[in-house]
Structure 1
Amino acid sequence: MNRAERAQMAMMLEVCAYPKPGNVDRCHDYPDTRLEHFLASAILAGPVFDAAEKTGGRVGSLIREAVLRTNDHAGGNTHFGAFILLIPLVLGGDIGGARRVVAGTDVEDAIDFYAAFGLTRVRMAESDDLDVNDPASTAAIRERGMTLADIMAYSAPRDMVAREWTNGFALTRRCADLLHSHGSGREAVGASFLDLLASVPDTFIAKKHGEAVAERTMQCAGEVLGGARDLRAFDAECVSAGINPGSIADITIAGIYVALGEGWQWDC
């Protein structure tokens, strides 16, 4: 399959895997966001990925276009973080290429990204002084000459998806390696997701519930891996409390994309 198809496949395989503690999957939805919304996003984003592969383009404008296209359903933001990772990967082909794409971003990419951000309902940290809803932030970005890579570096201490842009897609690489080690099929996706969840606090959880909850969720995932906690019971607890590791999901999508390009098999 080509790069655009791999990106769509990665989005679909991630959401269909079960169980992924706390997240929408084939067995449970959230009240306002359902499995169908995630699958719709994967389909609606197809032309953006196709354009990125065939004609290239600017990272910021492609992310903005992906958000615009996937706002057509009522499920809210489903894949903003995934687009931040997938667009450079599709443009560059692999992690090495994505690093070069990131290094080549400019101020216009940053402005387009902030426009895309403003179209979502992504939770922001209270300390963020570049507010996507404040026109003065755009002026500040221009005055400071901030590239999109600079924006990600600014956000990296509080956002693990942005951190992938600053650390060379390290967790994306790790997720791909985990998929290879866990074998083929959807069980490998769930196992890789859990491994990541047990190794690093999810910053989406931290923004929504606080850092202590993110740390505790990571510890509980480790207890599942160690056999001290039941996986499905942990999943039910997370869903009941609205604790959804959305950033880990985004990185899992990027890891699936990379693994697919390396020959990982999904259809066993």
Structure 2
Amino acid sequence: MKRSPAPARADRAECGRQAFLWACSLDVQTRKPGNVSFASAGHGMHAATFIAAAAVSAGPISAAGATVGERIEAAVRAAWQAVHCNTNLGIVLLCAPLLAAFERGEGTTDADTLRGALEAVLQSLDLADARAAYRAIALAHPGGLGRVAEQDVQAAPTVGLREAMALASHRDRIAWQYQHAYGDVFELGLPPLLAARSAGDAGARAMQAAFLEFAAALPDSHIVRKHGGAVAQSVIREAAPWRARARAGAVLDHDPAFARWDEDLKARGLNPGTSADLCVAAALTAALLVPPPRLP
């Protein structure tokens, strides 16, 4: 008979579930140019679709005792069955190892310790995790993947999930996180979110600031896949002055030009989706370290 998870572990899993829901809610509460939000739909999708996907994914991705691969496959499948489109594959790929690390690391509230637990989880990923993740990717069928010579997602993997991510890390920033213990998440996105939490801010402006840190520093993998590197570099240049203003404490939602940039990106079909996924991972990390008082 399968044993039930110990209460302490189940409690940590529930904390993870709530943190995941909070991060996904914050994602669409915040205007992040080019991304879908309650302020602005886009790319044929609405914020309510993302909320619905998060609601059904939260249980599977935080299931106590589940492997990373099991979390990824079950969460993506639940989301697909609920909304019939890919809204959160990148989010799930990033958040599943974080939630496993939080659960197995006894709910650590220190960033360095959580990152150490995350590295241990990443090192433990095996072929079964890779097979489950590949099935999830095939189901979600994200746009612009193309074909590659080694460990293509349209074929069964023959290496562990971290090794498979290593082969994709030069072209995909989510895969890069698996190789570098989420360096972008902990070093770019997390600081503004933790600073806001310590100041009693619910996090919407900090989520925006985190997005701009990613958008102004990294060629967005989703844009690169669909439109090429030159277009991705142009978005970096557009994001840089907004990042400077966010760092200076400006309230960007009060500036009509910020909303116009959002709509302009969508009109050009440019979706910095990887930057948004990294934001959710950073928000989840912040919520695991300092539990939010309530959902936004």
Q: TM-score, normalised by structure 1?
A: 0.88
Shift in Å, 1:89:
0.7
Structure 1 residues 199 and 181: alpha-carbon distance in aligned structure 2, compared to 1, 3 A threshold: farther
Residue in structure 2 matched with residue 187 of structure 1 by the alignment: 205
Unaligned runs of 5+ in 1: none
Superposed counterparts of 1:232-251, under 5 Å: 232-251=259-278
What amino acid maps onto 2:120 in structure 1?
Answer: R
Q: 1:121 offset after TM fit, Å?
A: 2.2
**3-state SS, counterpart of residue 237 of structure 2:** helix
Q: How many positions carry a matched residue from both structures?
A: 255
2:56 corresponds to 1:47: no
| 1:202-233 CA distance string (max 9 Å, x none) | 11111011111111101100032346x93222
The offset of 1:15, in angstroms, is: 1.7
Is the CA contact 2:52–2:83 (under 8 Å) kept in the aligned structure 1? no
Does the CA contact (< 8 Å) of 1:173 and 1:255 recur in 2?
A: yes
Paired residue secondary structure (2:217): coil
On the 8 A contact 1:22/1:239 being kept in 2, the answer is yes
Would the alpha carbon gap of residues 50 and 165 (structure 1) be closer, same or farther in structure 2, given more than 3 Å must change?
Answer: closer
Root-mean-square deviation (Å) = 2.0
Which of 91, 95, 106 is the matching residue for 1:82? 91
TM-fit CA distance, 1:107: 1.0
Decide whether aligned partners of structure 1 residues 153 and 170 sit closer, same or farther in structure 2, where only a CA change above 3 A counts.
same
1:219 corresponds to 2:237: yes
Match of 2:175 in 1: 162
CA apart distance, 1:111: 1.2
Of residues 116, 119, 128 in structure 1, which corresponds to 2:148? 128
What does residue 60 of structure 1 align with? 69
Q: Residues 10-40 of structure 1: CA distance to partner in whole angstroms, max 9, x if unpaired? A: 111112112x010000111125321111000
Match of 2:3 in 1: none
The Cα of 1:167 is off from its aligned counterpart by: 0.9
Amino acid at match of 1:132: V
Following superposition, the deviation at residue 73 of structure 1 comes to 3.3
CA 1:78–1:205 in 2, change beyond 3 Å: closer, same or farther? Answer: same
Q: CA deviation at 1:58?
A: 1.8
Q: 1:4-23 maps to which residues of 2 (within 5 A)? A: 4-18=17-31, 20-23=32-35
Counterpart of 2:79 (choices 37, 52, 70) is 70
Asked if the contact 1:10/1:257 (under 8 Å) is kept, the reply is yes
Q: Give the TM-score normalised by structure 2.
A: 0.80
| 3-state DSSP of counterpart to 1:191 | helix
Q: Please, which moves more after superposition, 258-267 or 107-116?
A: 258-267
Tell me the equivalent position of 1:117: 137
Given residue 48 of structure 1, which amino acid in structure 2 is its aligned partner?
P
| C-alpha distance in structure 2 between counterparts of 1:266 and 1:71, whole Å | 30
Mean Cα displacement is larger for which, 170-179 or 118-127?
118-127
The residue type paired with residue 180 of structure 1 is: L
Q: Matched residues in 2 for 1:87 and 1:262: separation?
A: 16
The alignment partner of 1:73 has SS state of: helix
- Stretches of structure 2 that go unaligned for 5 or more consecutive residues are 1-13, 103-113, 246-254
Matches of 2:208 and 2:142 in 1, distance apart? 24
For 2:276, give the aligned amino acid.
A
Q: Pick one of 116, 121, 130 that aligns with 1:101.
A: 121
CA distance in 1, matches of 2:271, 2:205: 19
> Would the aligned equivalents of 1:21 and 1:235 in 2 still touch at CA under 8 Å?
yes
The 1:253–1:100 alpha-carbon spacing in structure 2 relative to 1, beyond 3 Å, is same
In structure 2, what is the equivalent of residue 256 of structure 1?
Answer: 283
Deviation at 1:99, TM superposition (A): 1.5
Q: Is contact 1:37–1:75 with CA below 8 Å preserved after alignment?
A: no
